[in-house]
Amino acid sequence: VWEKCLNIIRDIVEWQPFKTWFEPIKPIKLENNVLTIQVPSQFFYEYLEEHYVGLLGKTIKRELGKEARLEYRIVVENGTPHQHPRTVNMPTQFTKPQKDNEVDFPLTIHNPVKNPFVIPGIKRVQIDSQLNPNYTFDAYVEGDSNRVARRAGKTVAEKPGGTSFNPLVIYGGVGLGKTHLAQAVGNDVKRIHPNKAVLYVSAEKFINQFIDHSKNNIINDFIHFYQLIDVLIVDDIQFFARAEKTQDAFFAIFNHLHQSGKQLILTSDKAPKDLDGVQERLLSRFRWGLSADIQIPDFETRMEILEMKMRNDGLEMPKEVVKYVAYNIQTNVRELEGALISLLAQSSLNRKEIDLELAKRVLKSFVKTSSKEITIESIQKMVCEYFDVPYDKLLQKTRKREIVQARQITMYLAKSFTKNSLKTIGEHFGGRDHTTVIHSCQTVKDLMDTDNNFRDSVIELQQKVQLAAM
Ligand code: ADP
Ligand code: MG
Domains of the chain, CATH where assigned: 2-88 (3.30.300.180), 147-294 (3.40.50.300), 299-363 (1.10.8.60), 376-469 (1.10.1750.10)
Model pLDDT for residues 343-385, shown as the tens digit of each residue: 888 887 778 888 888 888 888 877 654 456 789 999 999 999 9
- Evaluate: CB of 337 within 6 angstroms of ligand 1: yes
User: Which of the two residues, 440 and 15, has the higher pLDDT score?
Assistant: 440
The pLDDT score that the predictor gives to residue 14 is: 75
Lowest mean pLDDT among 14-23, 407-416, 428-437, 458-467: 14-23
Model pLDDT for residues 277-309, shown as the tens digit of each residue: 999 999 999 999 999 999 999 999 999 999 999
At 50, the pLDDT band (50, 70, 90 cuts) reads: confident
- Evaluate: CB of 246 within 6 angstroms of ligand 1: no
Which among 334, 336, 341 is the best mutation to test ligand 1's pocket, defined by most ligand atoms within 8 Å of the CB? 334
Model pLDDT for residues 169-211, shown as the tens digit of each residue: 999 999 999 999 999 999 999 999 999 999 999 999 999 999 9
Q: Which amino acid, residue 79?
A: G
Q: Which amino acid, residue 364?
A: K
Question: Which ligand has the shortest distance to the CA of 234?
Answer: 2
**Per-chain residues with Cβ under 5 A from ion ligand 2:** 178-179
Q: Identify the top-confidence range among 148-152, 226-230, 359-363, 429-433.
A: 148-152
Residue 178 Cα to ligand 1 midpoint, Å, equals: 7
At 325, the pLDDT band (50, 70, 90 cuts) reads: very high
User: Which of the two residues, 47 and 238, has the higher pLDDT score?
Assistant: 238
Q: What is the mean pLDDT of the chain?
A: 84
Which among 298, 333, 336, 340 is the best mutation to test ligand 1's pocket, defined by most ligand atoms within 8 Å of the CB? 333
- Evaluate: CB of 380 within 6 angstroms of ligand 1: no
Q: Let me know the angle formed at the C-alpha of 184 by 336 and 143, rounded to the nearest 5 degrees.
A: 50
The pLDDT score that the predictor gives to residue 77 is: 55
The predicted model gives 394-401 an average pLDDT of: 86
The pLDDT score that the predictor gives to residue 66 is: 83
Question: Which ligand has the shortest distance to the CA of 236?
Answer: 2
Residue 336 Cα to ligand 1 midpoint, Å, equals: 10
Which atom of ligand 1 has the smallest separation from the CA of 235? Answer: 2
pLDDT at 120 over 50: no
ipTM: 0.99
Model pLDDT for residues 62-103, shown as the tens digit of each residue: 888 888 888 888 776 544 333 333 333 333 333 233 332 222
Residue 371 Cα to ligand 2 midpoint, Å, equals: 30
**Quick one: 295 exposed, middle or buried, by C-beta within 10 A (0-12, 13-18, 19+)?**
middle
Q: Atom 26, ligand 1: which residue's CA is nearest?
A: 140
Which atom of ligand 1 has the smallest separation from the CA of 150? Answer: 23
Which atom of ligand 1 has the smallest separation from the CA of 173? Answer: 3
Q: Where are the alpha helices (DSSP H) in 65-165?
A: 147-158
Q: Which residue, 39, 43, 45, 52, is CA-closest to 9?
A: 52
Which atom of ligand 1 has the smallest separation from the CA of 181? Answer: 6
Residue 455 Cα to ligand 2 midpoint, Å, equals: 30
pLDDT at 105 over 60: no
What SS3 class is residue 70?
A: strand
Model pLDDT for residues 220-267, shown as the tens digit of each residue: 888 988 988 999 999 999 999 989 999 999 999 999 999 999 999 999
Residues 6+ apart with CB under 8 A from 43: 219, 220, 223, 224, 227, 249, 252
The pLDDT score that the predictor gives to residue 98 is: 30
